[in-house]
């Protein structure tokens, strides 16, 4: 039974020093009980108390790491049911399936697709995360050869077989890369749990329904395996959504430990129709998968899934922003136009994209307004002449250009007069309201 905030409070040092980042021990205890703080944040808790409280302070959904190095992915450790309550932290990994029953050409094509299916959007690289390697042959040698080939992508692996001997053979070549083993079921769980424990790998637990799943999880954790991922056996969109929601609610609201793990979803097994498979993957991104296995990630389905995932897993309380500074687009010189805007990522990338499309080299001056868009920053009193004037003087643009003309976004045309008062050496020109009009504006620009 999880401890309450008050139970935890009684065991804390009660110094109310605030060094944990929370003003009082009581507030810290409440956050610990809700899984929103880490015990390590308090430097005064004794080792004995740490052990005692570890259960209470553990996140309601365990954090599981798959893979090693730069491409390792972390899943789980979510604290809310709905993104608007706080944020979702660890985005689900998208895995592309290869099977040892496929031809060499098909396998090579999929592995190339995984490596090449990537896009850049608002400064972030969007890409696949894992290779799911499945044994349909049940042949250890054949599966191991495919695993070796998949390792060449350097992406973390999901090894899919119910045969513990086939799994064991594959682990001889890839255990050090910490693959996700899929799956332990009611027939093989002792052997699979031993393999996971010996090789320090996370393990999928699969059962036909949620009751059987939670019973199996308890048996496997009793064997000492802690890093688990859940497969409830559901495959259709409706049933997967129902189970994923139940698991998330049980973990967060009831603190039901046997379901306090991330989830794996298999749209690849649910639908032959690629459009329905993509819809199932999209639903799993939203609620609440940690790993999603799909047959393919060609650009037409990869891009919408990546963008959906990026949107869902962006913290709604923190605008995406870029650093303040001067950004050259193309190879601008002392006569090139100077554009001014805010450090809201979407604004910057929209403006820079249009400038690139215009083929007119420019300097874009980006002012830090805590990531707000132009109009919001103006309304909040941040993107106003009294702040812009000092920014233009300190940012260094006067060393880059010989002219003194700056273009401001059309949405803040009303500040142009006051800004000229702040910058008496500069001509302030009102640029377009819409980014799409930037190319034609720049083509007619003169200093």
Is 305:278 a contact under the CB 8 Å cutoff? yes
Q: Which residues contact 83 (CB under 8 A, 6 or more apart)?
A: 312, 316
**Residue 17 touches ligand SF4, criterion: CB under 6 A:** yes
Q: Please state the length of the chain.
A: 447
- CA 65/CA 320 separation, integer angstroms: 25
49 vs 185 by CB, closer to ligand SF4: 49
57 vs 341 by CB, closer to ligand SF4: 57
Among 3, 8, 11, 20, binds ligand SF4 (CB under 6 A): 20
Closest contact distance (angstroms) between CB of 78 and ligand SF4 is 24
Among 13, 299, 316, 436, binds ligand SF4 (CB under 6 A): 13
- CA 128/CA 95 separation, integer angstroms: 6
In order, the DSSP letters of 264-280 are EE-HHHH-SSHHHHHHH
Q: Which residues contact 384 (CB under 8 A, 6 or more apart)?
A: 378, 415, 418
How many residues belong to the site for ligand SF4 (CB under 6 A)?
14
Is 219:189 a contact under the CB 8 Å cutoff? yes
Closest contact distance (angstroms) between CB of 39 and ligand SF4 is 9
Closest contact distance (angstroms) between CB of 35 and ligand SF4 is 16
**Residue 15 touches ligand SF4, criterion: CB under 6 A:** yes
Residue written as token pair 């047959």: 295
Closest contact distance (angstroms) between CB of 33 and ligand SF4 is 13
Residues 21-50 close enough to bind ligand SF4 by CB under 6 A: 22, 24-25, 28, 42, 44
5 vs 353 by CB, closer to ligand SF4: 5
Q: Which residues contact 409 (CB under 8 A, 6 or more apart)?
A: 340, 341, 374, 431, 432, 433
**Residue 19 touches ligand SF4, criterion: CB under 6 A:** yes
13 vs 390 by CB, closer to ligand SF4: 13
- CA 141/CA 153 separation, integer angstroms: 20
Closest contact distance (angstroms) between CB of 6 and ligand SF4 is 14
Q: Which two tokens stand for residue 270?
A: 């649910």
42 vs 111 by CB, closer to ligand SF4: 42
25 vs 228 by CB, closer to ligand SF4: 25
**Residue 427 touches ligand SF4, criterion: CB under 6 A:** no
Span from 18-26, 154-162, 224-232, 281-289 in contact with ligand SF4 (CB under 6 A): 18-26
> What one-character DSSP code corresponds to residue 315?
-
Among 4, 10, 18, 334, binds ligand SF4 (CB under 6 A): 18
- CA 393/CA 222 separation, integer angstroms: 65
Which residues partner with 229 through β-bridges?
A: 204
Residue written as token pair 């079921």: 185
Closest contact distance (angstroms) between CB of 185 and ligand SF4 is 43
In order, the DSSP letters of 186-225 are TTTHHHHHHHHHHHT--EEEE-SSHHHHHHHHHHHHHTT-
List residues near ligand SF4 by CB under 6 A: 12-13, 15-20, 22, 24-25, 28, 42, 44
């Amino acid at each position: 039974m999880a401890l309450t905030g008050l139970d935890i409070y009684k065991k804390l040092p009660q110094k109310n020093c605030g060094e944990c980042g929370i003003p009082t021990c009581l507030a810290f205890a409440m956050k610990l009980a809700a899984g929103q703080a880490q015990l390590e944040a308090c430097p005064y808790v004794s080792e004995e108390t740490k052990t005692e409280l570890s259960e209470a302070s553990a996140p309601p959904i365990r954090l599981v790491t798959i893979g090693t190095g730069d491409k390792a992915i972390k899943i789980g450790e979510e604290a809310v049911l709905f993104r608007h309550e706080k944020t979702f932290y660890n985005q689900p990994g998208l895995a592309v399936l290869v099977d040892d029953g496929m031809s060499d050409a098909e396998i090579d094509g999929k592995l190339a697709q995984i490596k090449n299916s990537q896009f850049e959007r608002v400064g972030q690289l969007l890409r696949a995360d894992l290779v799911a390697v499945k044994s349909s042959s049940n042949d250890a040698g054949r599966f191991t050869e495919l695993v070796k080939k998949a390792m060449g992508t350097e992406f973390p692996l999901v090894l899919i077989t119910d045969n513990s001997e086939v799994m064991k053979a594959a682990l001889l070549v890839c255990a050090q890369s910490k693959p996700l083993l899929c799956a332990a079921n009611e027939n093989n769980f002792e052997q699979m749990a031993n393999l996971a424990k010996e090789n320090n790998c996370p393990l999928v637990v699969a059962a036909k329904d949620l009751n059987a799943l939670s019973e199996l999880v308890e048996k496997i954790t009793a064997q000492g395996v802690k890093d688990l991922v859940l497969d409830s056996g559901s495959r259709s969109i409706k049933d997967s959504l129902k189970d994923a929601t139940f698991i998330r609610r049980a973990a967060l609201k009831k603190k039901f430990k046997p379901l306090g793990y991330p989830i794996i979803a298999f749209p690849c097994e649910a639908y032959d129709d690629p459009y329905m498979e993509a819809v199932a993957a999209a639903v799993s991104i939203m609620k609440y998968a940690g790993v999603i296995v799909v047959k393919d990630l060609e650009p037409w389905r990869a891009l919408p899934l990546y963008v959906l995932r990026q949107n869902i897993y962006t913290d709604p309380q923190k605008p995406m922003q870029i650093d303040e500074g001067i950004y050259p687009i193309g190879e601008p010189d002392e006569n090139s136009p100077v554009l001014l805007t805010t450090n809201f990522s979407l604004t910057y990338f929209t403006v820079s994209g249009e400038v690139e499309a215009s083929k007119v080299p420019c300097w874009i001056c980006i002012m830090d307004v805590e990531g707000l868009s132009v109009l919001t920053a103006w309304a909040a009193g941040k993107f106003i002449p009294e702040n812009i004037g000092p920014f233009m003087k300190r940012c260094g643009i006067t060393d880059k250009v010989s002219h003194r003309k700056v273009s401001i976004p059309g949405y803040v045309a009303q500040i142009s007069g006051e800004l000229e008062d702040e910058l008496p050496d500069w001509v302030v020109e009102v640029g377009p309201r819409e980014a799409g009009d930037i190319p034609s504006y720049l083509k007619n620009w003169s200093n």
